Structure 1
């Protein structure tokens, strides 16, 4: 059975309505350290708070004093890595990360690697007001609105990429960060299929309609 967790990180949060929707769709809500400040601001009560606790406000700690808190001071991992590791140990295998992007650029870039690092132990997606990012693995298949925008973003050299259902198809081709990417493609039929034989490939899907 799929167990869905929402991680609220300490980056730029999405709008309140989107974050509250993500919370309702999740079985478990955990905050990564300062992400608890966002949860409090948006009226969301988490089930746990995990991290080194150096970004959480005193007021937040007081308001969430009954919420289990798990301090992890390991300096070899980021707050997001800490909370993803903890969430996987709790047997949640589908993880949505909100507020995982924005603010410090080094944190944003570092956080993107989390999707590859923890695959296939967990399927992780990042969601913000504009869209969502996920890790392709070796194969991804999904339904999407006709005409909607998708992008393929290589984290390194990706080879053997084949797609179906996109306006600009790829057939056993290569994408590489800094040389060739697959931004702003368009869905023309369902299901959309993406296969990659080698490398770490991210999929971005632009939101359609109100969020």
Structure 2
């Protein structure tokens, strides 16, 4: 089962090929989905960022929203992620959370890491028109090139050790990705799959394509 959570970031960065078994709209992300002819299965948020003309146009659909107080400890995206995780799917993809305010993106990134740690059996990722972002835990991971052939790796919180990359233009064997280094930026998958294996740490993985790519 795949769940897509759509946030209220710039709609031009939301991928056009959304496919899922269950859709969740986080605040104005619900309007993004409705504009793509996707009726959300669940909507959460305080709806404070939905413009009045959008609220009027989608009044019936937005009546299904679970409204929460404007002043709260959790973000709308966090609450949407929690609902998605409660469904125990195999995959949760976040869209509509890049671009716009950097504080919101940074919050989502930390939420993604927290949920990935708490629900290790669920594959969490962020996707926009040009990037797929995920956190990797120790072990071996296979990354499909698809149209996102460029791949960058960063240490998050602590060094990533025992790193081996195969199927990449620049393979490495038993090296470390240190916190603060950009040396592992913009590698390229040259086989059908690229593989990363490491023994400790949390690795932030960003797969990208050129902005002109389709």
TM range (shorter): 0.7 to 0.9
- What is the Cα deviation at residue 66 of structure 1? 4.1
Which one has the bigger strand percentage? 2
CA distance in 2, matches of 1:12, 1:176: 32
Counterpart of 1:46 (choices 23, 29, 40) is: 40
Counterpart of 2:189 (choices 182, 187, 190) is: 187
> Do the aligned partners of 1:115 and 1:123 also contact (CA within 8 Å) in 2?
no
Match of 1:91 in 2: 88
Is the aligned partner of 1:161 residue 2:198?
A: no
Size of the aligned set, in residue pairs, is 205
Match of 1:140 in 2: 141
CA distance in 2, matches of 1:71, 1:118: 22
| Worse-superposed segment, 49-58 or 27-36 | 49-58
TM alignment of 1:21-100, pairs within 5 A: 21-22=17-18, 25-62=19-56, 63-66=58-61, 68-73=64-69, 75-100=72-97
Is the aligned partner of 1:128 residue 2:125?
A: no
Q: 1:64 to 1:146 in 2, by over 3 A?
A: closer
CA distance in 2, matches of 1:174, 1:65: 53
> Do the aligned partners of 1:101 and 1:111 also contact (CA within 8 Å) in 2?
no
Is the aligned partner of 1:9 residue 2:7?
A: yes
What are the superposed Cα offsets for residues 117-139 of structure 1, whole Å, 9 maximum, x if unpaired?
A: 11115211111111211222223
Runs of 4+ with deviation above 3 angstroms:
40-43, 57-62, 207-211
CA distance in 2, matches of 1:32, 1:7: 7
| Worse-superposed segment, 180-189 or 96-105 | 180-189
Q: 1:145 to 1:126 in 2, by over 3 A?
A: closer
Q: Which secondary structure does the structure 1 equivalent of 2:66 belong to?
A: strand
Q: 1:134 to 1:110 in 2, by over 3 A?
A: same
CA distance in 1, matches of 2:112, 2:198: 16
The runs of 5 or more residues in structure 2 that have no matched partner are none
TM-score of the superposition, structure 1-length normalised? 0.83
Is the aligned partner of 1:200 residue 2:202?
A: yes
CA distance in 2, matches of 1:140, 1:10: 30
- What is the Cα deviation at residue 37 of structure 1? 2.8
Q: 1:44 to 1:141 in 2, by over 3 A?
A: same
> Do the aligned partners of 1:124 and 1:134 also contact (CA within 8 Å) in 2?
yes
